[in-house]
Amino acid sequence: MTTMPPDRWADASSVFHAALERPPRDRAAFLDEACADDATLRDEVRSLLAFHEQADAFLDTPAIDLTREGQQVGPYRLVREVGQGGMGVVYLAEDTRLGRMVAFKALPAAWAGDPARRDRLRHEARAAAMLSHPGVATIYALEEIEGQLYLVSEFVRGETLREELQHGPLPLPVVIGTGLGLAEALAAAHDRGVVHRDLKPENVLRTTDGRVKIVDFGVAGLGPSPEIRPSSGTPAYMSPEQRHGGRVDYRSDLYALGIVLHELASGTHPFASSQVRVPLDVPAPYTAALDAIIARCLANDPADRYQFTHDVAADLAALVPRPGAGAARLTPAAPEPPAAVSSAIWWWQFHQMIISAGYGVLLYCLWLTRPWAISPMGQSLFFVALVGALAAIILRGHLWFTLRSFPDDWFGQRQRVGIWIRLADTTLGAAALVAGIMYGAEHPRAATLLVGSAVAVLVAFAIVEPATTRAAARQLGPPSR
């Protein structure tokens, strides 16, 4: 049944749509007016409008079900939908090449079409993929399949902090443990220059063994740039500099961490009701310490926040309940002011410098006393001591810089160079000892000094240094893999 000739169909279409734009009760009058001299057209549109009312869901479900579950995208087989992330639907998928389960995320179609953003995404994903930390869900790949971008990362079984927050605030020990986990993961990322940019409870998963894992590192914040970011983003977790399109660095993550910590402890967003930060409603001994950490994270000016992510971790670590202090109760960190937290690390650094300076002085003494030795013994002895002292100083300097710049690598580096430092120390100590014994008869005072120094060196590296190093190691937390 075709009531309209094709050439009249366009008219019918436009009248139909014009009528639809009017409220239902005005439509009859509109039709009479619009089709005043054309009864066929009017009847046709009236009939279509009537069927339009019934045709609401008609044909809206496609004949075939093209849900993506079970679908194969490149080498990935989608198993099931596991969540709706900020960037799109997340699937549990199987990487059929490697036979492992992965989190599979289709990135917004617009991202693939924008070469600048795609390049940036690739760059960020590459940096983030280098991250290997138990607190970070590792990015495996950024795939481009059929002109669509997909982010493939470690699949983390667990609940998001957002889901946990639905049951209200978390117990304080859990808040502190969670905060410490987040700070350590952020520190590991910041050490490598990777900034998350979109830290929020939705982007943190707690695994079944209680650890936290941050997802979408470096990539989550690469949506539309902050200035044009739609409200579907999460301005609530953005730092002031992010909101205003300023320079975003790792300190923006610290701001977001402050908000998350506040939310975990109180169950509410710090700026939920007004621009005034709600003080934490937590047991008195911890209020000050935790509140101070949060307040420092939330400083408007990045320069007023923590300048070293490891410091946040250290401050939080100081609040962690110690064994033997009672299972549920926290040991207040009040007697230990936050400044004292990194004291062990400070002592280690101080110790390294004192040792190096001492070696320099010892070397100078050996140089001065060189003519007393039976030639050419003196020259050789001095050069042996020089090599030992230089090696010891250079290796210590290396560890010192590693601690300052790449704290995560410090453990590995210490393992690697520790034996050489000890060898260098022994060499220098032995040289001083031999020299002291050699000059003993003629220059007893200088000899005593040299032998004393040698003993001091041996005591320092055998007893004192291991102690300060162990303390510093404890302060830094367990080595990350």
Partner 1 sequence: MSPLPVDVVSPMVEELYTELRRLANLYLRRERARSVQATELVHEAYLRLLKDKHPQWQNRTHFLAIAAISMRRLLVERARARSAAKRGGPQVQVTLEDGLLTTDAQSLDLVALDRALADLSRLDPHQARIVELRFFGGLTVEETAEAIGLSPATVKRHWTIAKAWLMRELQTGSRA
CA distance 294 to 299: 9
Q: Is 122 in the site for partner 1 (CB under 8 A)?
A: no
Contact with partner 1 (CB under 8 A) among 70, 210, 245, 246? 70
When asked if residue 55 is in the footprint of partner 1 (CB under 8 A), the reply is yes
Is 230 one of the binding residues for partner 1 (CB under 8 A)? Answer: no
Query: Which one among 16, 104, 348, 410 touches partner 1, defined by CB under 8 A?
Result: 16
Rounded CA-CA distance 223/201 in Å is 18
Instruction: Name the residue nearer to partner 1 (CB basis): 54 or 232.
Output: 54
Among 37, 39, 67, 284, binds partner 1 (CB under 8 A): 67
Q: Is 21 among the residues that bind partner 1 (CB under 8 A)?
A: no
Burial profile 389-422: b = 16 or more Cβ within 10 angstroms, e = fewer: bebbbebbeebbebbeeebbebbebbeebeeebb
Q: Give the residue with the Cβ less far from partner 1, 69 or 281.
A: 69
Instruction: Kindly state the smallest distance separating residue 5's Cβ from partner 1, in Å.
Output: 9
| Cα 130 from Cα 433, distance rounded (Å) | 48
Cα–Cα distance for residue pair 165/170, rounded to 1 Å:
7
| CA-closest candidate to residue 309, choices 217, 186, 477, 421 | 186
What is the C-alpha to C-alpha distance for residues 243 and 29, in angstroms, rounded to an integer? 51
**Per CB under 8 A, does 97 bind partner 1?**
no
User: Is residue 197 packed enough to be buried (19+ CB in 10 Å), middle (13-18) or exposed (0-12)?
Assistant: buried
Q: Return the number of other C-beta atoms located less than 10 Å from residue 432's C-beta.
A: 29
Stretch that binds partner 1, among 5-13, 181-189, 254-262, 323-331 (CB under 8 A): 5-13
The answer to whether residue 479 forms part of the interface with partner 1 (CB under 8 A) is no
Nearest distance in Å: CB 56, partner 1:
9
State how far the Cα of 471 lies from the Cα of 176, in Å rounded to an integer. 22
CB of 73 to partner 1, least distance (A): 9
Cα distance between the two ends of the chain = 73
In the set 25, 33, 37, 62, which binds partner 1 (CB under 8 A)? 62
* DSSP characters over 178-243: HHHHHHHHHHHHHHTT---S---GGGEEEETTS-EEE-STTTGGGSS-GGG--TTS-GGG--HHHH
Q: How far is it, in rounded angstroms, from Cα 166 to Cα 188?
A: 29
Is residue 437 close enough to count as binding partner 1 by CB under 8 A?
no
CB of 8 to partner 1, least distance (A): 9
Binder among 47, 225, 300, 379 for partner 1 (CB under 8 A): 47
Classify residue 136 by its DSSP letter: B
Give yes or no for residue 467 binding partner 1 (CB under 8 A): no
Which range in 8-16, 122-130, 291-299, 385-393 contacts partner 1 by CB under 8 A? 8-16
Number of chain residues interacting with partner 1 (CB under 8 A): 36
Position 52 contacts partner 1 (CB under 8 A): yes
Least CB distance to partner 1 at residue 61 (A): 4
d(CA 245, CA 292): 27
Site string for partner 1, 372-401 (x = CB under 8 A): ------------------------------
CA 194 to each of CA 6, 140, 282: distance values in angstroms, whole numbers, following the listed order: 61, 16, 33
Give CA–CA dist 481/479, Å, rounded. Answer: 6
Q: Which member of 33, 58, 327, 442 binds partner 1 (CB under 8 A)? A: 58
Smaller CB separation from partner 1, 146 or 227: 146
In sign, the C-alpha dihedral spanning 177, 182, 188, 191 is negative
Q: What is the DSSP letter of 32?
A: H
Least separation in angstroms between residue 52's CB and partner 1 is 4
x/- mask, partner 1, residues 136-165, rule CB under 8 A, reads: ----------xxx-----------------
From candidates 33, 37, 65, 209, binder to partner 1 by CB under 8 A: 65
Least separation in angstroms between residue 67's CB and partner 1 is: 7
- Shortest Å, Cβ 89 to partner 1: 14
Task: Report d(CA 443, CA 316) in Å as an integer.
Answer: 56
Q: Is 24 in the site for partner 1 (CB under 8 A)?
A: no
Stretch that binds partner 1, among 62-70, 180-188, 354-362, 413-421 (CB under 8 A): 62-70
Distance in angstroms (rounded) separating the CA atoms of residues 422 and 37? 106
**Does 48 participate in binding partner 1 (rule CB under 8 A)?**
yes
Q: At closest approach, how far in Å is the CB of 150 from partner 1?
A: 12
- Residues assigned a catalytic role: 198
Residue 46 and residue 282: Cα distance in Å, rounded? 67
Q: Rule CB under 8 A: is residue 276 a binding residue for partner 1? A: no
- 100-106 and 148-154 beta bridge pairing: antiparallel
Considering only residues 25, 37, 39, 63, which one is a binding residue for partner 1 as defined by CB under 8 A? Answer: 63
Among 1, 303, 419, 441, binds partner 1 (CB under 8 A): 1
* Interface contacts to partner 1, rule CB under 8 A: 1-2, 4, 6, 9-10, 13, 16-17, 20, 47-49, 51-52, 54-55, 57-72, 146-148
